[in-house]
Amino acid sequence: EPEVTQTPSHQVTQMGQEVILRCVPISNHLYFYWYRQILGQKVEFLVSFYNNEISEKSEIFDDQFSVERPDGSNFTLKIRSTKLEDSAMYFCASSGVWGGEEHNEQFFGPGTRLTVL
Amino acid sequence: GQQVMQIPQYQHVQEGEDFTTYCNSSTTLSNIQWYKQRPGGHPVFLIQLVKSGEVKKQKRLTFQFGEAKKNSSLHITATQTTDVGTYFCAFGAGGFKTIFGAGTRLFVKA
């Protein structure tokens, strides 16, 4: 069964450093998302991406964040200058196929745990 | 912005007991989704409801969307230890933005 993959599974970085989190969405999906989840808390929407551009973003997704789909398979989240409060689990998700009705059925990857020291 | 309130925050049940979690919004929702997240895992989509008064069943799970499309519930009949996890409701907030509730964490004692 196709699945969303994410690398690395755990990233430790120093405050102020840049990190890039990588995701490979399900191959025929059209919509891509990043979420974060601080330990024990709810899943928070960061950004959605469709047709090679951002379609929605939350107030969390400020100028320190960017997303890219550099090729036909990868979808990345970059945090330019990490802060302590960026420590969280980051989930990538994908959804939607051409001709399908339910782009809201999102398939989540296993997540990258980001620890900022 | 739009948000949903989920209750209860936690629920401890004995295996075999029923469990219900509720999701409430102050505004009308276009749809409601339910996800399950096992401890240490990622959210897994369970179902989406879009119609007023809609009821859907998946084995022991029953999902309802209120007539006014402002509330929803997930009911599990005869819980099993495999039901352990956090159940989140979520809704489409326009475009491709999905907002999650805070979740209800279910503990099942064998």
Q: Do A42 and B42 touch (CB under 8 A)?
A: no
Q: Do A104 and B43 touch (CB under 8 A)?
A: no
**CA neighbor of B95 nearest in space, from A28, A97, A27, A31:** A31
CA distance A25 to A22: 10
Q: How many CB atoms lie within 10 A of CB B41?
A: 13
Taking only the tens place, the pLDDT of each residue in A65-110 is 999 998 878 999 999 999 999 999 999 999 986 545 555 689 999 9
Taking only the tens place, the pLDDT of each residue in B48-101 is 999 999 999 999 999 999 999 999 999 999 999 999 999 999 998 877 889 999
Which residues of chain A make contact with B37, given a CB cutoff of 8 A? 43
Q: Do A104 and B97 touch (CB under 8 A)?
A: no
CA distance A88 to A46: 12
pLDDT category of residue A1 using cuts at 50, 70 and 90 = confident
List the beta strands (DSSP E) in chain A.
Answer: 5-7, 10-13, 19-24, 31-37, 44-50, 53-57, 65-68, 75-79, 88-95, 107-108, 112-116
Touching check for A115 and chain B: CB below 8 Å?
Answer: no
Q: Max Cα separation, chain B? A: 43
Nearest CA in chain B to A39: B40
Nearest CA in chain A to B104: A42
pLDDT of residue A101: 53
Q: Do A105 and B48 touch (CB under 8 A)?
A: yes
